[in-house]
Structure 1
Amino acid sequence: MSHRKPRPSRNPLTSKAFRLGLLAAGIATAAAAAPAQAAAPSSHLPRVAVANDGAHTHANQAHHTQVQDTLTVHQFGTVIAAGVRNQANAISSGCSVDDHCRSVALSFQVVTMAGTHTHLNAVNLSDAVNKHCDGCQTLAGAYQFVVSTPRPFTLDSTAQRGLADVHRRLDALTRSTDSAADLQQQVDRLAAEVKAILKTAVDGADFAPDVAVHRRFDGGWR
């Protein structure tokens, strides 16, 4: 009796993602499994794309200052559906007013995709928690930028340089000792710059862009 070898299954999840870099250690992943001919953003083959990014910090008596920031860009091209998740979590625990902790997590996620009837499931979350930590500084900010166009496009070198510059300043800001109020205002200004960069990049195309911004900011100090 002969046995036929099972044919390998094909993965329907495809995406094309590139990073502008993580200047602080972090987690930013995108599912990417695609036939070679479907890799380019200009492809019109129906596909599903997913991305999961985030920044997570936990400060305590052993590690009084914990900070992390990410700015990750995913260019999906033409898709029939996309699931994107961005999350920032900051925890401070076990410190005191005289020996306080600082925990800052900031995550920027940029997603571009094309299609006329695309189904999008976008989740953007932030959570800052003080656990028995009087006087601790705990800040979490999640910013999600979704660019949707009828036809695929690629961010040009000018847009990429602009986003890289924002990331450098975000990294410096994350490591600063600015107050919670000042930090939030400055991060909001950087987010406004990201939106402007994306809108300018798409305005050069011959279609009206849709740049959606989802913002969640949580925290302060006690």
Structure 2
Amino acid sequence: MNLNHHRRAAARVGVGRKAVRFGLLATAGLTAMATAATTAQAAGPGSTAGTGHGVAIANDSAHALANPGNRVRFDDSFTVHQEGTVFAAAAHNLAEADSAGCTAARPCRSVALSFQIVTMAGENIHLNAVNSSNAANHHCAGCQTLAGAYQFIVSTPRAFRLSPTALRQLADIHRRLDALGRSKAPVATVKTQADALAAQVTSILQAAAATAPKGPGIDALAVRTPTVTVHRMYTG
């Protein structure tokens, strides 16, 4: 169920350690977003649609490695999974960046950014969501290494789709994420710009969630409201 995965040469700073975030549906995050596919049709550019047959798996990653032969590396992943109605789901998202063997006189720069969007519908969904990043310098004095993972989990009581307008907006954010690969700005600035893009993704999903169907004859107060859970993890 993966969609677009882009790889570009670019830049970044830092030393790294590993961080992992586990989430159970309806846990903390930046609120409301949503829409899930009701059929197996593709929902538009940059997205995938699930069959809605009960179990969904999403697995996305970005990997960048800089070394003396390739001193500036950038990799990004931006994927939309529309899973439909499910009773169980697993979502794994990873960003991994390494810089190795460069010198202070000729340092490396490695950046990996992964954006994963997963929409699903149903009541009492069992979700295993893992969002992690890992950035490390290996014998690389003065090198810049950054890994950032963003995971957006959308849950609605009833299945529906992201609109063509929302998908176009997300595709535009994807293009701007790709453009960060050409940036020569300090890695702290790249991180700030990626956070700004993530905030725009959240706003788009929140607006989509507001249109989620409640179903005929159902008291809106008695139905679980759409939820957007955002996990953000950086190392570097």
> What TM-score, normalized to structure 2?
0.76
SS in 2 for 1:116: coil
**1:205 maps onto 2:212 in alignment:** yes
- The aligned residue for residue 199 of structure 2 is 192
- The aligned residue for residue 147 of structure 2 is 140
Q: CA deviation at 1:73?
A: 0.6
**1:22 maps onto 2:5 in alignment:** yes
AA of the residue aligned to 1:87: L
AA of the residue aligned to 1:146: I
Which entry has the higher C-alpha Rg, 1 or 2?
Answer: 1
- 1:7-29 deviations in whole A, cap 9, x for unaligned? xxxxxxxxxx463x33427xxxx
Tell me if the contact between 2:160 and 2:213 (Cα under 8 Å) persists in the aligned partners: no
Q: CA deviation at 1:43?
A: 6.8
Residue of 61, 67, 77 corresponding to 2:84? 77
**1:218 maps onto 2:219 in alignment:** no
Q: RCO higher in 1 or 2 (8 Å CA, sep ≥ 6)?
A: 2
What is the rounded CA distance, in whole Å, between the counterparts of 2:154 and 2:209 in structure 1? 9
- The aligned residue for residue 72 of structure 2 is 65
Tell me if the contact between 1:42 and 1:153 (Cα under 8 Å) persists in the aligned partners: no
Q: CA deviation at 1:205?
A: 2.2
Change (3 A) 1:43 1:170: closer
Q: CA deviation at 1:42?
A: 9.3
* CA RMSD, Structure 1 to Structure 2 (Å): 1.9
SS in 2 for 1:173: helix
Q: CA deviation at 1:211?
A: 0.5
Change (3 A) 1:110 1:142: same
What is the rounded CA distance, in whole Å, between the counterparts of 1:44 and 1:54 in structure 2? 23
AA of the residue aligned to 2:209: V
Tell me if the contact between 2:78 and 2:114 (Cα under 8 Å) persists in the aligned partners: yes
Gaps of at least 5 residues in structure 1 are 1-16, 26-36
- The aligned residue for residue 5 of structure 1 is none
**1:182 maps onto 2:165 in alignment:** no
Change (3 A) 1:64 1:42: closer
Superposition map of 1:24-173 within 5 A = 24=7, 39=40, 45=53, 47-173=54-180
Aligned residues: 190
SS in 2 for 1:117: coil
What is the rounded CA distance, in whole Å, between the counterparts of 2:210 and 2:59 in structure 1? 27
Q: CA deviation at 1:204?
A: 1.5
Give percent identity, aligned residues only: 53
Tell me if the contact between 1:23 and 1:168 (Cα under 8 Å) persists in the aligned partners: no
Q: Which runs of 4+ in 1 moved over 6 A?
A: 41-44
Change (3 A) 1:151 1:128: same
